[in-house]
């Protein structure tokens, strides 16, 4: 499913259940030694997907350990992202991307009271003008999660929900305009991202993939 909204230079893998053959490296086992069963299953299957995606790039299996703020630590030269929700896990990786952000959510309304906490007033007004059968509030949340995952490896700092303004095109794309100063990327200041979205099989997925270039200055 998620491959439909990723460019050809990004490899991906996904799972709709937790396959018994999914296993962890000892280093990964240590990370979740005290995790509850739900967290263990999410973590294990997401890593299984990540290794399948790495294999599509011709790379060997490797441990994917959480780094700063939980961001996956990829093998040298690899850029990627992981997501999981009830009934779905996925990973996307590339040797040609500057950054990648993906997110999946159940295609359901957000719980009461959540939308005001994760959106701007203008965004809520814009969502109110969108029609169709899409739960736009949940899609907005997912898009902002993808924005954050794409932002963090470049900026190495937090991005709050109200620090990016996301707008949707019903055709399946979205734009995120940063409301804070972004890092320098390829000699230019990062001002936002463009991404794609899809709703299918009771799920919604969002993705951002920025082509590679010179890494931002620290």
pLDDT surpasses 60 at 216: no
Q: pLDDT tens digit string along 100-152?
A: 999 999 999 999 999 999 999 999 999 999 988 999 999 999 999 999 999 99
What are 1-50's pLDDT values in tens digits? 999 999 999 999 999 999 999 999 999 999 999 999 999 999 999 999 99
Distance CA 188, CA 69 (A): 26
Structure tokens at 92: 């996307």
Q: What is the biggest distance separating any 2 CA atoms in the chain, rounded to whole angstroms? A: 50
| Mean pLDDT across the chain | 94
Provide the whole-model pTM. Answer: 0.94
All structural domains of the chain, each given as residue ranges with its CATH number in brackets, are 2-211 (3.90.470.20)
Task: Render pLDDT for 41-62 as a digit per residue (tens, 0 to 9).
Answer: 999 999 999 999 999 999 999 9
pLDDT > 70? residue 97: yes
Are the C-beta atoms of residues 120 and 165 closer than 8 Å to each other? yes
| 33-42 long-range contacts, CB within 8 A, separation 24+ | 42/84, 42/89
CB 205 within 8 Å of CB 103: yes
What is residue 20's three-state secondary structure? coil
Backbone angles phi, psi at 46, to 5 degrees: -60, -40
- Give the CB-side neighbour count of residue 4, counting CA atoms within 13 A: 10
């Amino acid at each position: 499913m998620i491959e439909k909204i990723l460019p050809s230079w990004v490899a991906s893998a996904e799972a709709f259940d937790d396959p018994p053959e999914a296993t962890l490296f000892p280093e990964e086992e240590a990370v979740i030694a005290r995790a509850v069963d739900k967290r263990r299953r999410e973590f294990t299957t997401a890593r299984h997907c990540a290794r399948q995606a790495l294999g599509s790039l011709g790379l060997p299996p490797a441990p994917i350990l959480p780094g700063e703020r939980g961001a996956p630590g990829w093998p040298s030269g690899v850029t990627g992202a992981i997501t999981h929700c009830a009934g779905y896990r996925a990973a996307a990786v590339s040797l040609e991307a500057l950054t990648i952000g993906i997110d999946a959510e159940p295609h359901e309304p957000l719980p009461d009271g959540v939308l005001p906490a994760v959106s701007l007033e203008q965004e809520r007004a814009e969502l109110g003008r969108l029609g169709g059968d899409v739960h736009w509030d949940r899609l907005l949340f997912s898009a902002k999660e993808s924005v954050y995952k794409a932002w963090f490896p470049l900026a190495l700092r937090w991005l709050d929900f109200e620090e990016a303004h996301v707008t949707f095109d019903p055709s399946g794309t979205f734009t995120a305009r940063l409301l804070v100063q972004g890092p320098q990327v390829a000699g230019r200041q990062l001002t936002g991202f463009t991404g794609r979205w899809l709703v299918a099989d009771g799920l919604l997925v969002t993705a951002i993939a920025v082509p590679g270039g010179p890494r931002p200055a620290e």
